[in-house]
Structure 1
Amino acid sequence: INDPLKGQLPMGMIVLKDDFVGSTKEVEQALVAAVRNQIGAIACLKNIVSVDRLPKTRSGKILRKNLRQLVDGEELQIPSTIDDASIFEEINQQLTQQ
């Protein structure tokens, strides 16, 4: 996420397994605590969003640049190698719910 003070802040997107039983908020809090303990407060990971799936190419690579563009509100430049372009609308809806 763009930040005027630090340049960029980290944001996590997690995909929970279908058979997961529990609270997504608890998982998000545990991940924030784990990053803080292992990396330190400098990482300042505070935003974690649970999504149904991530955008991938046909070869299985996650489109991190496009996720960054979506979160920062930039115009998406969707590559022709994407597996399913409708995922960006799904993620955008989940981001606005948070």
Structure 2
Amino acid sequence: MTGCRSILEDNVLFYFVQAILECLDVVEAAVVGVPDKLKGSVPLGLCVLKHGCHHTEDSIKQEVIKQVRTLIGPVAAFKMVVIVPKLPKTRSGKVARNTIAALAAGKPFKVRPIL
């Protein structure tokens, strides 16, 4: 059952990322689940902005939340967005979601060297 949950979670998070990337000022995004006492876990979006973006972080966060609610719906419970300068990557260039999720949950995490 664990493998099925992982595949389902990856697919759901993919839709969140695609919705976030619809925002014109966002160049890269990642979404991870963070622990929540009421719901078990809730999505946290991390966004990297285009160089030279002139909008405020608050306006971009609101735009991202609105975009996700429009494309996925309010059932997504998407309310947390963090603007970051860049996302951690694995050696193969993929976003290190496990590291981001551990950091967001306050759990220990490893920073692996990047070649």
TM-score strictly above 0.5? yes
Which of 72, 78, 86 is matched with 1:39 structurally?
Answer: 72
| Deviation beyond 6 Å, 4+ runs, structure 1 | none
Cα RMSD of the aligned pairs, angstroms, is: 1.5
Aligned length: 82
Which residue is equivalent to 1:61?
94
Q: Which residue of the partner structure matches residue 114 of structure 2?
A: 83
Query: 1:17 and 1:2 mapped to 2: Cα distance?
Result: 29
The gaps in structure 1 that reach 5 residues or longer are: 85-98
2:43 corresponding residue in structure 1: 10
2:104 to 64, 67, 71: 71
* Percent of aligned positions that are identical: 35
Deviation at 1:78, TM superposition (A): 3.0
Q: TM-score, normalised by structure 2?
A: 0.66
- TM-score w.r.t. the length of structure 1 is 0.76
Relative contact order (alpha carbons < 8 A, sep ≥ 6): 1 or 2 greater? Answer: 1
- Give the number of the structure whose residues are more often strand, by fraction: 2
Structure 2 residue runs of 5 or longer lacking an equivalent are 1-33
